[in-house]
Amino acid sequence: MFIGSSSTGIWKIIRGWLDPVVASKVHFTNNLKEMEEFIPANHVLKELDGQEDWDYTYAEPIPGENDKMKDTATRDNLLRTRELLYRDFEEATLEWIKDHGDEHGPTTRAKRDSIARQLREDYWKVDPYIRARSLYDRTRVLLPGGKVDYYPSAVVVPAGAAEVSQQNGTAVASTDDVD
């Protein structure tokens, strides 16, 4: 967190209320050079003397972007599959613990890691059925499969988009032909 130097008096009071580890994460900067210790200048807004020429614009919700949430039958089937994965993961974890972790059970650890990977990947199948699309989906910061692009090259979804194409559960405006 970055706070201007005018807040240092208040900070002296607040700092005492916080855990020392949390308080150590708060840094005060007075200029771009100091801020560059934490954030590259190309990601600092121009109004703070950085190079980032960016203005916030809100991407309005797109009609139909959450229609998959209405498909409760598919959601329930996907969640049943996840329940089986949860059970398999718990069993593999118990087996790994009984094998004393990595020391005596590298194959049980590998099995457990494989199931954990399946759980991560499987989440993104169920995601459009349980989580409403957000600004991050519409601006393509949050990508299919849980990938994050904090600096997307272009916003794909303009406000008021007429057509929507569901790609891997992410609403994308159809400006031309979106596959």
Residue 83 has pLDDT above 90, yes or no: yes
Pairing of strands 27-28, 164-167: unpaired
Determine the pLDDT at residue 73. Answer: 98
Task: Read off the pTM.
Answer: 0.63
Name the more confident of 169 and 19: 19
Determine the pLDDT at residue 130. Answer: 97
Residue 54 has pLDDT above 90, yes or no: no
The DSSP string of 125-176 is: HHHHHHS---HHHHTTSB-GGG-B-SS-SS----TT-S-EEEETTEEEE-SS
Residue 155 has pLDDT above 60, yes or no: no
Pairing of strands 27-28, 2-3: parallel
- Rounded to 5 degrees, φ, ψ at 62 are -100, 130
